Chains A and B, each alone.
Chain A
Amino acid sequence: MPTDVDRLSERANELIARSRAQRPETALDQKQRRRREAEIGARIGRIAAADALIVVGAIVAGYMSTNGIGMGGALLVMALLVVATLVLAVFPLSSPPTPESLAEVPLKALPLTTERWLEAQRPALPAPMRSLVDSIGVRLETLAPQLAMLDEREPAAFEVRKLIGEQLPELVKGYQRVPEPLRTLERNGLTPDQQLAKGLQTIDDEIADMTAQIAQGDLDALATRGRFLEIKYGDDTTPRQLH
């Protein structure tokens, strides 16, 4: 028999669900939705490929042997299909990258690899840190296409690699090495939890700064193009001297 508390909590849950549904989609939601869709797509693809392989194998086997594969064979194929589908649907797509492997990933793939790694660490981090991790994830996604255009030898590329390939994993690893009971104990004015939060915040800001810095050249080029059009085709007949 449900108590008042149960009813109340049920109503509260409904309210939360309703307000979630009404809330406009943020960049984070989009990211998560995209990732979910991509993952579901990848799983279905893999299952379809495995099943097709099994069926084709069965057909080939049926033609090859004189008596066909028989009842036992058909059952075996069915069992194989079920097992393959279940296994591929349940087990994760790929193992998350290790911090050590981040150093060898090419720059173009680095933001997304780091993001996958960070996503894997998410459950191990305290709840308040998760929103920061999400925010860093969104910023990494913005950074990814920018890095695709960047030359690996440029100083900016080096800085990016250092920040998201070394500093970020080191910070999280350093935090994870601290025994759990000590993480909430204050030491020299700050708890390890707070230190992690501050570090993540700094990295978050720094990635945003890097995005802005890398975009600087493109922004300038756009402004220059606009100004050129103004000078060449604008109303005034002589190039203007204004700055």
Chain B
Amino acid sequence: MATQIETAEQDLVLTPPDPVPVVSPTKAAGLVPVEDSKKTELQTRVATFIDDLVAQDVNSPEFGKRVDAITAMGQKEIREAAGQSNRFLDKPVRTLSSDTGVGADLLALRRTVEELDPGRNASLMGKKGFLERIFGSGLTQYFQKYQSSQTHINSILKSLGSGKDELLMDNAAIDTERANLWTAMGRLEQMIYLSKEMDERLEAKAEELDATDPAKAKAIRETALFYVRQRTQDLLTQMAVTVQGYLALDLVKKNNVELVKGVDRASTTTVSALRTAVTVAQALTNQKLVLDQVTALNTTTAGLIDSTGKLLKTQSAAIHEQAASSTIPVETLQRAFQNIYDTMDAIDVFKVKALDSMKTTITTLSGEVEKSKGYIARAEGAAQNAVSGPADTFKLEAM
């Protein structure tokens, strides 16, 4: 009989996601595709810019202004992306700490459930005098415990429900942030494309000018091309950090999804154990154990726990049948409690592993963000220089 319940209860597997590895700048580009139409548009922009640059006298302020535009190139995009990849660093740890929210609720649930555990109430399970005790007052007292703790369990389950809502809300926020990051990465990608294109064309132009105007070729190589390469590197580094942040957010989200599964399962198994107790009490003592709070919960949980609601329905029917007809109803009850423990153990194991991945991820990411701060400062400096500099005609920006 017990094995049947085991099959009804699918094994709960909570998989902690792997930590996010360091993304190298060389591999960062190319994650978000740039549309062909945009590529053409960017190519024209680069071509116009370079023609304009070459037409200027290398010592004129106009030439200098255009070089300033290069040093500030992508500064807006970098600032945007940097702001967003830093923001989530203070996000992830909250949900996994056990002192508050879901962790604390699960702990409280465990304590309450342990008090009701038929295994702990050993007098029930003793081999000698089992029958006497069954029909004696011990068993009735035992089932009375359910009545006294039902309000408590009910409030814990409700609190778990709102904890689950918080996790879902966190995931919704992560979805929004990831959507924002995706846009930011798209713009960075465009800037990377633009600066690489600029690099190639400037190089070609300098070679072309070597024969006719070596001084200009030299100026182009030493100022424009130099800054373009520096900016390409900055953009690629920021892209790497952003991609890493994007992946790290996914890690947090997966953790939350697993935790939600765990919370759902913990609520389901608890409700199911209480129902089993009602049925077992009926079978053993011939008395009706009234758990109004739990009955009320049944109706609400079916709605609350969407994913496991179906499971609960089919499973409880099976348990009901078993408990009523079984010759060993106490074992059935014991099994129902074991299900709760299994769920909670699975969550605990998950939490330890997940925290580990999360720590690794945060450490790598903080390191990368720290490294990237250097060039963000450089970009800001360039922007301050350029306040009076670049006119709208040669603004180098993503679309």
User: Taking each of A225, A227, A228, A243, which has the highest tally of chain B beta carbons within 10 Å of its own beta carbon?
Assistant: A243
Q: A198 — which chain B residues lie within 8 A by C-beta? A: 391
Given contacts A223-B176, A224-B175, contact A239 B257 (CB under 8 A): yes
Is the pair B180, A231 in contact by a Cβ cutoff of 8 Å?
no
Is the pair A243, B182 in contact by a Cβ cutoff of 8 Å?
yes
Verify if A94 is at the interface (C-beta below 8 Å from B). no
Is the pair A232, B168 in contact by a Cβ cutoff of 8 Å?
yes
Given contacts A241-B257, A243-B182, A243-B250, contact A220 B177 (CB under 8 A): yes
List which B278-310 residues lie within 8 A (CB) of chain A.
306-307
A227's contact among B165, B172, B257, B391, by CB below 8 Å, is which?
B172
In the complex, what residue of chain B is closest to A243 when comparing beta carbons? B178
Q: A232 — which chain B residues lie within 8 A by C-beta? A: 165, 168
Chain A residues within 8 Å of chain B by Cβ, number: 16
User: Taking each of B172, B173, B180, which has the highest tally of chain A beta carbons within 10 Å of its own beta carbon?
Assistant: B172
Verify if B169 is at the interface (C-beta below 8 Å from A). yes
CA distance A223 to B183 in the complex (A): 15
CA distance A238 to B306 in the complex (A): 8
List which B190-204 residues lie within 8 A (CB) of chain A.
none
Is the pair A231, B172 in contact by a Cβ cutoff of 8 Å?
yes
CA distance A117 to B215 in the complex (A): 52
Given contacts A237-B306, A237-B307, A239-B257, contact A231 B178 (CB under 8 A): no
Given contacts A224-B169, A231-B171, A232-B165, contact A239 B260 (CB under 8 A): yes
CA distance A49 to B51 in the complex (A): 69
CA distance A41 to B391 in the complex (A): 44
Kindly provide the distance from the CB of B91 to the nearest chain A CB, expressed in whole angstroms: 13
What does the 1/0 interface line of A207-243 toward B look like (CB < 8 Å)? 0000000000000100111111011100001110101
B173's contact among A224, A230, A239, A241, by CB below 8 Å, is which?
A224
| Size band of the interface chain B makes with A | 20 to 34
In the complex, what residue of chain B is closest to A220 when comparing beta carbons? B176
CA distance A224 to B171 in the complex (A): 9
Is the pair A238, B307 in contact by a Cβ cutoff of 8 Å?
yes
Q: A225 — which chain B residues lie within 8 A by C-beta? A: 172
Is the pair A243, B179 in contact by a Cβ cutoff of 8 Å?
yes
Is the pair A239, B179 in contact by a Cβ cutoff of 8 Å?
no
CA distance A230 to B307 in the complex (A): 14
In the complex, what residue of chain B is closest to A222 when comparing beta carbons? B176
Kindly provide the distance from the CB of A238 to the nearest chain B CB, expressed in whole angstroms: 5
What does the 1/0 interface line of B150-187 toward A look like (CB < 8 Å)? 00000000000000010011011101111110100000
Is the pair B179, A231 in contact by a Cβ cutoff of 8 Å?
no
CA distance A220 to B180 in the complex (A): 9
CA distance A232 to B171 in the complex (A): 11
Kindly provide the distance from the CB of A216 to the nearest chain B CB, expressed in whole angstroms: 8
In the complex, what residue of chain B is closest to A234 when comparing beta carbons? B306
Is the pair B307, A228 in contact by a Cβ cutoff of 8 Å?
no
Is the pair B168, A239 in contact by a Cβ cutoff of 8 Å?
yes
Q: B168 — which chain A residues lie within 8 A by C-beta? A: 228, 231-232, 239
Binding site for A on B (CB under 8 A): 165, 168-169, 171-173, 175-180, 182, 250, 253-254, 257, 260, 306-307, 391
| Interchain residue pairs A-B with the least CB separation, the first 6 | A228-B172, A227-B172, A223-B176, A224-B173, A224-B172, A243-B178
